[in-house]
């Protein structure tokens, strides 16, 4: 059987890391596409040359021609610009919306059967626009944010409790932005919900609140440290987890920006929700019962996403 084909649209910081991870995990052959001439070719060659020492079997090719992504099984989209210190994700909307149009058209023409994972920010609005521009089925187009946001939450919790990250599970709902909703009630250490750990005296409510806030600000913390761009190692790892779930039909339960139509009382909007990812793409959106406070936080987050979607419609009338 031929190896799966993974097309990476955008060969910048995240794109290059995705290529390296996909090759090291032997998820398939990798096509790195970018408009910058030489960048995807150089990164593909550099990673391919790590193959003999690493011992992986994967072919890598860099290109500036969409025709090379033909028949891709997975497309991961990072094309666009990242933020710099002082910028919010929403400041990227105008530039990245235009990029989503050309990417959507390229995927529609050359890889219409692919499972598409968008990473470009502002995430929830960009994945919505990418699905519209590409015309691919909504269950085959999703956005990576929840896996990363919950990984950050898990990392901070493991530091607080002094336990392995493997034993910490965490859920984050809503848009990928300052209004994201880390769900403490559904986040656990070895199955023990966080509110119970507060009662047991393992941590305090104040510490937990600070961790929630640090999670919300997780992207900005890295932007502030790097100064020249945004996070790329953990975002790439998170998207690879989603791609692997699809390619291996793992039925993983992962939070991602999915098209929600019915669940949570929403109608046809992309927002971060728990999903099941398998060979059919987003196979299920899990509709968790929320309490009043959680619902209020989610409503606020959804309003922020809806505002960005309206802004997209204002910029490009074909989306209206
Ligand atoms: P960067 O290293 O700048 O790479 C972006 C690449 O896109 C560059 O190589 C550009 O040449 C390329 N590009 C620009 N326009 C086009 C186009 N029309 N077609 C093809 N390629 C194009 O950025 P990065 O890799 O650090 O980040 C990529 C995106 O991911 C940004 O929008 C970030 O904001 C976003 N991001 C999202 C998350 C989430 O959790 C959702 C996390 C981190 C970064």
**Per-residue pLDDT tens for 48-96?**
999 999 999 999 999 999 999 999 999 999 999 988 888 888 889 999 9
Instruction: Give yes or no for a contact between 171 and 298, defined as CB atoms under 8 angstroms apart.
Output: no
Q: Distance between alpha carbon 60 and the CA centroid of its chain, in Å?
A: 22
Instruction: Give yes or no for a contact between 47 and 19, defined as CB atoms under 8 angstroms apart.
Output: yes
- As a whole number of angstroms, the distance between CA 80 and CA 125 comes to 14
228 is in an annotated binding site: no
Our mutation pick for probing the ligand 1 site, out of 9, 235, 239, 257, counting the most ligand atoms within 8 A of Cβ, is 235
What does pTM read for this prediction?
A: 0.97
Mean pLDDT of 198-206: 97
Cα(89) to centroid of ligand 1, in Å?
A: 12
Select from 33, 32, 23 the least CA-distant residue to 3.
23
Both structure tokens of 177:
């932005």
- As a whole number of angstroms, the distance between CA 185 and CA 252 comes to 21
pLDDT tens digit sequence for 235-277: 999 999 999 999 999 999 999 999 999 999 999 999 999 999 9
pLDDT tens digit sequence for 3-57: 999 999 999 999 999 999 999 999 999 999 999 999 999 999 999 999 999 999 9
Ligand 1 near 15 CB (within 6 A): yes
299 is in an annotated binding site: no
Where are the alpha helices (H) located in 88-230, listed in sequence order? Answer: 93-110, 123-134, 146-161, 194-199, 205-216, 218-226
Mean pLDDT of 280-301: 94
Q: Other CB atoms closer than 10 Å to residue 169's CB: what's the count?
A: 17
* Three-state DSSP state, 188: strand
262 is in an annotated binding site: no
Ligand 1 near 17 CB (within 6 A): no
Instruction: Give yes or no for a contact between 117 and 146, defined as CB atoms under 8 angstroms apart.
Output: no
pLDDT at 50: 98
* Three-state DSSP state, 178: coil
Ligand 1 near 257 CB (within 6 A): no
Cα(261) to centroid of ligand 1, in Å?
A: 28
Cα(268) to centroid of ligand 1, in Å?
A: 26
Both structure tokens of 184:
């403490």
Catalytic residue set: 176
């Amino acid at each position: 059987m031929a190896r799966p084909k993974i097309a990476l649209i955008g060969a910048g910081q995240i794109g290059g890391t995705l290529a390296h991870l996909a090759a090291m995990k032997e998820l398939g052959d990798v096509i790195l596409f970018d408009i910058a001439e030489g960048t995807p070719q150089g990164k593909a060659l550099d990673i391919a040359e790590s193959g003999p020492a690493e011992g992986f079997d994967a072919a890598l090719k860099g290109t500036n021609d969409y025709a090379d992504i033909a028949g891709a099984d997975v497309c991961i989209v990072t094309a666009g610009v990242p933020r710099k210190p002082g910028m919010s994700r929403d400041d990227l909307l105008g530039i990245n919306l235009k990029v989503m149009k050309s990417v959507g058209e390229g995927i529609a023409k050359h890889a219409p059967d692919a499972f598409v994972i968008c990473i470009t920010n502002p995430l929830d609005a960009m994945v919505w626009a990418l699905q519209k521009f590409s015309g691919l089925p909504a269950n085959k187009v999703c956005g990576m944010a929840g896996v990363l946001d919950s990984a950050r939450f898990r990392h901070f919790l493991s530091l607080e409790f002094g336990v392995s990250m493997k034993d910490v599970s965490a859920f984050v709902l809503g848009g990928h932005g300052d209004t994201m909703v880390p769900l403490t009630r559904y986040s656990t250490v070895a199955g023990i919900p966080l509110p119970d750990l507060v009662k047991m005296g393992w941590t305090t409510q104040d510490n937990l609140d600070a961790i929630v806030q640090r999670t919300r600000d997780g992207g900005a913390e890295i932007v502030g440290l790097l100064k020249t761009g945004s996070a790329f190692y953990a975002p790439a790892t998170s998207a690879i987890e989603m791609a692997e779930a699809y390619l291996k039909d793992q039925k993983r339960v992962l939070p991602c920006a999915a098209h929600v139509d019915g669940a949570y009382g929403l109608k046809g909007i992309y927002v971060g929700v728990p999903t099941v990812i398998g060979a059919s793409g987003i196979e299920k959106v899990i509709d968790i019962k929320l309490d009043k406070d959680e619902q209020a936080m989610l409503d606020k987050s959804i309003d922020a996403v809806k505002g960005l979607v309206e802004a997209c419609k204002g910029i490009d009338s074909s989306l209206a």
